[in-house]
Amino acid sequence: MSFANDQARLDLRAGSTAVKPALVSAISALDSNYDLTITSVAHGGHVKNSAHYDGRAADVGAVNGTAIGPNTQTWDFVRDAIASGKIQKLGTFAAIANDASMQEWAAEHGVELFVDTGSGPHVHLQVAP
Ligand SMILES: [Zn+2]
């Protein structure tokens, strides 16, 4: 795991009270299969009342060193994150979020998949309250 900024690293460091344990668990599980670059956790600019401020969401900007975008790494990562059983909502750019087969995959796993128009292509991972 790597961090795009110090604040993201601080939010997820051992013993941090800025995040919910379920988020740490979800990120750790996914990071065992992918090298994630975390861009934002409990701080930064997000929509009002965002789950980020509740310590339940993290944004991923790159997977295995490849920026989130229309590439195999991103598609595989989103598929696996949905199937992990640890994510309640997942947001990403429209080409994936609106893809019919990915929407079906998300519905099968009880995950809400939505278009996240926030700052640049990223994957928003959110756990249940
Ligand atoms: Zn987010």
Q: Which CATH class is domain 2-126?
A: alpha beta
For 69, the token pair is 């975008």
pLDDT in tens, 5-48: 999 999 999 888 999 999 999 999 999 999 999 999 999 888 88
Number of other residues whose CB lies within 10 A of the CB of residue 34:
17
**Boundaries of every domain in the chain:** 2-126
Determine the average pLDDT of the residues in 82-93: 97
Helix (H, G, I), strand (E, B) or coil at 26: helix
Q: Please give the distance, rounded to the nearest whole angstrom, from the Cα atom of residue 101 to the centre of ligand 1.
A: 23
Q: Please give the distance, rounded to the nearest whole angstrom, from the Cα atom of residue 89 to the centre of ligand 1.
A: 10
| Ion ligand 1: residues, CB < 5 A | 57, 59, 124
Number of other residues whose CB lies within 10 A of the CB of residue 68:
23
Whole-model pTM: value is: 0.96
DSSP state of 52: G
Please give the pLDDT value at position 119.
75
For 13, the token pair is 């460091």
Contact 22, 57 (CB under 8 A): no
Q: Please give the distance, rounded to the nearest whole angstrom, from the Cα atom of residue 41 to the centre of ligand 1.
A: 8
pLDDT in tens, 28-37: 999 999 999 9
Q: Please give the distance, rounded to the nearest whole angstrom, from the Cα atom of residue 19 to the centre of ligand 1.
A: 13
